[in-house]
Amino acid sequence: MNKQIKKIAIVGPESTGKSTITQQLAKHYQTLWVAEFARYYCAALTAPCTLQDEINMFHGQLALEDSVLSMAEKDFIFCDTTFLTVKIWSDEVLGLSPQIVLDTLPKRPYDLYLLMDIDLPWTEDPLRDFPHKREYFMQVWIDELQALDANYVLVSGSEQSRLNNAIHIVDEFLK
Mean pLDDT by 10 residues, the chain (175 residues): 83 92 98 93 88 95 96 96 94 94 95 96 64 89 97 94 97 96
Give the integer Cα–Cα distance in Å for 17 and 110: 19
Give the integer Cα–Cα distance in Å for 163 and 105: 27
In the prediction, which pLDDT does 124 show? Answer: 67
Cα atoms in the Cβ-side hemisphere of radius 13 Å centred on 106: 5
Give domain status of residue 148, yes or no: yes
Neighbours of 40 (CB within 10 A): 13
Give domain status of residue 145, yes or no: yes
Domain at 152, CATH number = 3.40.50.300
Give domain status of residue 1, yes or no: no
Give the integer Cα–Cα distance in Å for 2 and 32: 17
Domain count, the chain: 1
As beta bridge partners, residue 80 has: 10
In the prediction, which pLDDT does 2 show? Answer: 45
Give domain status of residue 101, yes or no: yes
Provide the domain limits for residue 170: 6-174
